[in-house]
Amino acid sequence: MNFLRRTAVNKVSGLTFEQAAGAPFPSSPEMNALGLIKHLTAVERWWLSIVGGGSDLPDLWGDASDHDHLFRLGKQVPPVEVVAAYREEWARSENALAGMQASDRVRHPGEQKTVRWVLTHLIQETARHVGHLDVLREFADGEVGE
């Protein structure tokens, strides 16, 4: 998991706001690298802290009917600030699951999933979005690799 997290961060490292906010796909006009990092931050919060650990932190999804809201950046937030929020969520996630085993049931009321299921889901979702970040980074400045 940590490898994928670090790779996601590497994909926006050194990009200007304009590069990281670029949305080069006509079929996905809201998709941009900073929005993906914000999305991954919300995913970490929801699945690890709230569902897995049972935290009462507010979720970061906002309006559930607007699936693209995390990709609309509004003001120019430097990539380093978006990355810092993602990194803070990693620590929060680790604390939320402290002492839990993979076979334990999650702590969110009404959920029957195990910690293993939640971690596996987060790994596959993060990996998928790292792939998106690969392409976005190549469009932004031509850089490829981990």
Is 80 part of any domain? yes
Is 103 part of any domain? yes
Three-class DSSP category at 112: coil
The type of residue at 134 is D
**CA diameter of the chain:** 46
Reference 36, options 77, 72, 81; nearest CA is 72
Tell the residue number behind the tokens 């706001």, with chain if given.
Answer: 17
> CA-based angle 81:85:90, to the nearest 5?
145
Is 107 part of any domain? yes
Buried b (16+ CB within 10 A) or exposed e, 39-50: bbbbbbbbbbbb
pLDDT reported for residue 145: 81
Is 146 part of any domain? no
pLDDT reported for residue 146: 80
- 43: domain CATH number is 1.20.120.450
Please tell me the pTM assigned to this model: 0.91
Domain count, the chain: 1
- Per-residue model confidence as pLDDT tens for the chain (146 residues): 899 999 999 999 999 999 999 989 888 888 899 999 999 999 999 999 999 999 999 988 776 676 666 676 766 788 999 999 999 999 999 999 999 999 999 999 999 999 999 999 999 999 999 999 999 999 999 988 88
pLDDT reported for residue 67: 67
Q: Which residue range is the domain that position 106 belongs to?
A: 2-141
> CA-based angle 135:141:142, to the nearest 5?
60
Is 112 part of any domain? yes
Is 119 part of any domain? yes
